[in-house]
Amino acid sequence: MPNVSYLQAVREALFEEMRRDPNVIVMGEDVGVMGGAFLATEGLHKEFGADRVIDTPISEELIVGAGIGAALAGLRPVVEMQFMDFISCGFDQIVNMAATTRYRHGGRARVPMVVRGPSGAGVRGALFHSQDPEAWFFRVPGLKVVAPATAFDAKGLLKSAIRDDDPVIFFEHKRLYRRIKEEIPEGEVVVPLGKAATRRTGKDLLFVTYGGALEWSLEAAERLAQEDKVQVEVIDLRTLLPFDLEAILEAVRRINRVVLIQEDRLTGGIASEISARIAEEAFDWLDAPIARVASLDAPMPYHPAMEAYVLPNADKVVARAREILAY
């Protein structure tokens, strides 16, 4: 099995799906000859040509709008945001057009489109190139939202997203692009949307996380095992909308103490909704308050020390976990 980086996994998924289905096209800023700002689309233009790998103007609203039109015409567009921070420029097209199409037309129309691109902090991108905007779309009926944390899932979930008949927002954490590698078997690799993965089993404490925060969660779990003899179970959501509530509730009923970990800001994040669902549906099984670890409610600074201050990390997860264990 070849050792594949997160970035290579994204690229492989695009190649394979474009070879499998001639209706799959790629659109975005510099995705063609240049191969994308992070080279996620490198080589696609050479193999598939300018009719299927389309360079666009610097206008996210135009890119998403053209993608919606292409999808309505029968294609399966994969549109790239050069940085997911700027998906806000295409917000109206995604939320008011793509997400509502199937409902507005009584199921007679569909928008099988993927909006993908790099998100997240930890690379000194400062306030305009470090955001985690997943919560902006988390409450929108008609969308699916995905955030892979491993190279295997980056490939398998992207392939599933491209084949899905609903619009999918696909967040790739830029810090992981070249940081992590994984053995991925050759051949068909497809990961179903809507199913969480248990990355580590345990009986004393539950971590629920996703995306770039999985790395800190696993590091914290290992430290707690070594230093405190605590067995931590770690659930990786993978798909954020719809998220796998049953997997979470089943684990809460067994483990009784939970810490929710996200890189996004604390207020109004996905951890907040999951916390509410646990409180509503599994309160009787809790032995301690539901805890959250997240970024501070502040713009992301450029300076390395300030960025580290705002972001979560394994130390912060361990400290919060010990508070819940001691409750």
Q: Are the C-beta atoms of residues 159 and 190 closer than 8 Å to each other?
A: yes
Q: Are the C-beta atoms of residues 245 and 275 closer than 8 Å to each other?
A: no
DSSP track, 223-271 = HHHHHH---EEEEE--EEET--HHHHHHHHHHH--EEEEEEEESTT-HH
Indicate the helix (H) or strand (E) that contains 13. Answer: helix 6-20
Residue 41 has a CB neighbour count (10 Å cut-off) of 24
DSSP track, 112-174 = --EEEEEE-SSSS-TTTS---THHHHTT-TT-EEE---SHHHHHHHHHHHHH-SS-EEEEEEG
Q: Are the C-beta atoms of residues 133 and 165 closer than 8 Å to each other?
A: no
Q: Are the C-beta atoms of residues 35 and 41 closer than 8 Å to each other?
A: yes
Q: Which of 45, 129, 173, 303 is catalytic?
A: 129
- Rounded Cα distance between 148 and 108, Å, is 31
**Catalytic: 45?**
no
Angle between helices 270-281 and 245-255 (to 10 degrees): 60
How deeply is 51 buried, as exposed, middle or buried, from its count of CB atoms within 10 A (0-12, 13-18, 19+)? exposed
Phi-psi region of 122 (alpha: psi -120 to 50; beta: other; left: phi over 0): left
Q: Which DSSP symbol is given to 86?
A: G
Tell me the catalytic residues: 129
